[in-house]
Amino acid sequence: MSVARLSSDNEVLALQAAGVSRKRIFIPLFILGFIFSLMSFFINDYLLPHGFIEYKRHYSKMLHSSPQLALEPFAVNEYENINIITGDIQDNVIYDIVIFDKTEQNKLRIISAQKGIIEKSKEQEDVIALILDNVFSLLINPMKENSFEYSYSETMIYNILLKIFDVKPNPGPTEMSIFDIWLVIQEKEKGFQEKLRMQRIKVHEMRYTMAMEIRMLKESPIFSAQSINQKRSNLESLYDNYIQEKTKKIFDRSLQKYLLEFHKKFAFPFACIFFIIFAFPIGLMARRSGRIVGFGIGVIVSFLYWGLLLVGHEIGYRHEYPPFIAMWLPNLVVLFFGLFFLILRMRK
């Protein structure tokens, strides 16, 4: 938008008439893009991980002081091993509660209550207690058909661990710094190489087994037709299993996910530089309504860039596409068209 406005107002023409070349006009913009890239890199690699840690700490502190914040009214609250259906919630009182969980014997349990009061446990710091009134409890044994137990009670104390309400027990690759991602990649790479080594050993053992079978056939006396057919069938089965194991591709999606995020941590911030290279020659082409044209082109290019970035991430994650190419391809596309229009404009 800025370059298009300068061009439409003939400011670029005035600068050139004063002896300022397009290259000298481009240099400050390039430096500005580089500064934006560094700022974006700092936000993405430092502020985002620290922000996640602080958010988790404050959220945990809020839950300890007001546990009812973890439950939404008139909703199905799904957690790791428990589902809680709630009605209206007023202060620390929950109405029309239904709880689905499992006992230590892996039996399905359904608990319904007219209302429940949330209190912090006096005995355990990381536990909240639901004091339920007018309780109906149903216990179902999945191993025995038509087998269940039920009970009624005026009051029940149901304890819930606060940790099940955590946003995430551990940060994902998006919330981690580049250094932390790299450490995780090294560990996962060791596990991946171990899987490849075990595959090679298994293929070698299968090849050795086939060789021994063939050797025994050669050294053994003449077999009957039925025995020969059976041996042939066994060898064909061994060979099919051997080919299947040898050609099987081992793919670690978890490792691929971290590799994609590692390259994205660099590619996304430094896209600012590539956009500057693209924006400068496109902006110079504007003659009238510079800001409107610049804004329209910026929206379209940003939309296409995000589309390429999302498609690259999905292809890289699901189809073993190289992470570097998947994450840097949008930048390379912008760079290609930027250099093309830059060279075209410089020749005029």
pLDDT tens-digit readout, 11-32: 888 988 888 888 888 899 999 9
Give the Cα separation of 268 and 178 in Å (integer).
Answer: 13
pLDDT higher than threshold 80 for residue 317: yes
305 within 8 A of 22, measured Cβ to Cβ: no
- pLDDT attached to residue 226: 64
Phi-psi region of 91 (alpha: psi -120 to 50; beta: other; left: phi over 0): left
Look at residues 101, 120, 117 and name the one whose alpha carbon lies nearest to residue 63. 120
pLDDT tens-digit readout, 210-224: 888 777 777 666 566
pLDDT tier for residue 106 given thresholds of 50, 70 and 90? confident
Which of 51-60, 272-281, 284-293 bottoms out in mean pLDDT, i.e. has the lowest? Answer: 284-293
- pLDDT attached to residue 135: 94
The angle formed by the CA atoms of residues 151, 116 and 146, to the nearest 5 degrees, is: 25
At 105 the three-state DSSP class reads coil
pLDDT higher than threshold 80 for residue 316: yes
> For the chain, what percent of residues have pLDDT higher than 90?
30
Look at residues 279, 309, 311 and name the one whose alpha carbon lies nearest to residue 296. 279
pTM, whole model, 2 decimals? 0.70
Look at residues 142, 116, 140, 144 and name the one whose alpha carbon lies nearest to residue 130. 116
- pLDDT attached to residue 287: 67
At 12 the three-state DSSP class reads helix
Of 190 and 222, more confident: 190
